[in-house]
Chain A
Amino acid sequence: MEAFSHLGDVVSLANLAAMLLGIVVGLIIGAIPGLGPPMAIALMIPISFTWEPQTALIMMVATYAAGIYGGSFTAILLRAPGTSASAASAIEGFELTKRGKAIEAIRMSTFASVMGGLISGLVLLFLAPPLAKISLWFGPVEFFLVAILGLTAIAAVSFGALLRGLAAGMFGLFVSTIGVDTMTAFPRFTYGATGLLSGVGVLPAVIGLFAFAQALTLCEGSPHTNISGKSKLSWNIWPKFSEIMHCRWSLVRGWSTGLVMGMVPAAGASVAQWIVYSWEIQRGKPGDQFGKGEIKGLAATEGSNNGVTGTSLIPMFVLGIPGGISAAVILGALMIHGLQPGDTLFTKNPEVIYTVMWGFVLANILMGGIAAVLARTMAYSTLVPRGILAPVIMIFCVIGTFTASGNPWDVWIMVTFGFIGYFAEKYRFIPAGILLGIILGPIAEQGFRNTLVLSDGDLISYTATRPIAIVVIVMIIGALYFALKPKKWETAAETYDTQADEYAEGNDD
């Protein structure tokens, strides 16, 4: 097979050095809330101008994979997701950190992400051209339904506060309508504020709802205690076999969801983590502690995060359709180096494309070792007293938000969502629901309105002719049914509630 004939090309000194550079830069920049993989990749483009195309692209894809994982560091350790793709991991990951299990969370996260990226990279390598056709099957109605499927996750992540969770989701959907309507060019709810014309960005919202709100929560209670309640950390950064076996099916669900959703342009990466998280909650068994630090929940979301990375590059390489912002930046890098995406890339430049794909696979393996050590170093932040950590996180939120967009309005939006997120968490309005609404609102609204146009108003007949849409509708009905069905672990968790409260009280002096 042609792919194997280029395996040796990837292990040149230049390619390996570029890969390592991409991994380190991606991990560090991905960890800072607001910066993320697109910025990391964009920063690397100028330094790669004079490089060989495959070396440059290996660095870009390594940065992408590492950046996605890097966002999970701060999500797990500080509840400050570096990217919106890590928001779901922040829920269970940070709860594990609060229970003094930061290192366990990090090593499971590393394993899930590395394996997810590896499997995704192998799928990219061997199945890219045939799978690319799947991306073309998704039209407006499918995007709309995938967004609705993502929104059903709100019911699952409400953890017993269903009405409040749904209200939070509706609030998020409403917020997503602020700004200029892309179809009519009419401003909605901007009240003359020019900074609101472009709407409420996902990045300021995720930083505010999670990171800034968490910093405000850290201001409660004793300032001298730390997040984890521990005074030292273990160096056991490699997952135990028993831990992997405990989470094996969660990992499989995470990886498979990421692989499939990565091929859905635009919507896939945002939705994958929430779909698998709600799936995991629905599959919970008595004794599981979803919402209070369940390692299986973290394994699933982390598996899907990096499971998305390889397959999200398939539509970009094969069809020239970027699946997300990071893929769009990589597409730009591809064209800067004189390459055109599509079938010709595989026929005229197989030595480039296959080497890059092998580079992606190898980068995920190397990322494991580097990420584990880096994450262990970053875990020291959980030993810092809350009174000092809180303002530092807030300052990083401001700097990250401003650096990402250069727009002062985004900083104000971020802080506003910080206030909203703090009170939402306090009064059980589920910040994750608000975020889901903001992320999926534009996709849902755009998809719905485009569908109305394409179907001439006859939605049902139009949808009935599209098999993918019917499959997604069945999935939505199933997701709603299982989300509303009482879960076995929730009854057991009510007993744990008392224990968790006692632990929290004992932690605060």
Chain B
Amino acid sequence: MSMSKIRAERVTAIGMIVVAGFFITQSQNLPSTSGAFPKFTEFMIIALAGIMILRTFITRDEKLSGDVRFDFSYMGFKPTLVMIVAAFYIYAVFQVGFYASSIVFYFLVTYMTGIRNYKVMAIVASVLFPLMYVFFNIALGADLPKGILI
């Protein structure tokens, strides 16, 4: 799927205006001295977005020629999938425990990226996690999150 860069620039700018506009309405509830700086930044974002839209009509910048391609194949979507897994991982850290969830996360993401050498994965994990425990828990005395497991 692709979109012209000019259209993508306009869509992005409209998105910026919408979000900044929303926060301007939120800033109205703030006392005047508290709200001044946030409103300044929000108006500046709207102004910059306006210039971005204007630029797509009046200039012939080479950087706006061509298309933006969106890759929804597994390879293109991999980082987004990893983000989703990461969000579950962070939740699990505080429910299950840091080390248990990190070990699962490590193997899962390594597999998702395409590594299939399980021996190397296991060797790295067997060195990394004990070292991490010794350094953070023992040497630094860090109180890492525990849940139903460590």
Residue A419 is within 8 A (CB to CB) of chain B in the complex = yes
**Chain A residue with minimal CB distance to B76?**
A220
- Interchain CB contact under 8 A, A395 and B34: no
Residue A292 is within 8 A (CB to CB) of chain B in the complex = no
Q: Residue A422 contacts which of B44, B79, B109, B136 (CB distance < 8 angstroms)?
A: B79
Whether A220 contacts B79 in the complex (CB less than 8 A), given A43-B140, A160-B63, A387-B113, comes out as yes
In this complex, how many residues of chain A approach chain B with their Cβ under 8 Å: the count is: 52
Contacts of A391 in B (CB 8 A): 105-106, 109-110, 113
Q: A183-B34, A395-B102, A422-B79 are in contact. List 20 more A-B contacts (CB 8 A).
A: A164-B52, A174-B41, A186-B30, A186-B31, A188-B38, A189-B26, A216-B79, A218-B113, A219-B109, A224-B115, A387-B110, A388-B120, A388-B121, A392-B124, A395-B106, A399-B98, A403-B144, A408-B94, A418-B86, A441-B37
- Interchain CB contact under 8 A, A427 and B12: yes
A contacts with B: majority SS? helix
Interface residues on B, range: 35 or more
- Interchain CB contact under 8 A, A174 and B38: yes
- Interchain CB contact under 8 A, A403 and B140: yes
A224 to B115, alpha carbons, bound, how many Å?
7
- Residues 32-67 of B, flagged 1 when their CB comes within 8 A of A and 0 if not, give 011101100110110011011001000000010000
Contacts of A388 in B (CB 8 A): 110, 115, 120-121, 124
Whether A387 contacts B48 in the complex (CB less than 8 A), given A427-B12, A445-B37, comes out as no
Q: State the Cβ distance, B96 to closest chain A Cβ, in Å.
A: 13
Residue A406 is within 8 A (CB to CB) of chain B in the complex = yes
Q: How many A-B residue pairs have CB under 8 A?
A: 139
- Interchain CB contact under 8 A, B132 and A399: yes
A188 to B32, alpha carbons, bound, how many Å?
12
A170 to B39, alpha carbons, bound, how many Å?
11
Residue A476 is within 8 A (CB to CB) of chain B in the complex = no
Residue A163 is within 8 A (CB to CB) of chain B in the complex = yes
Contacts of A167 in B (CB 8 A): 16, 45, 48-49, 52
A449 to B120, alpha carbons, bound, how many Å?
57
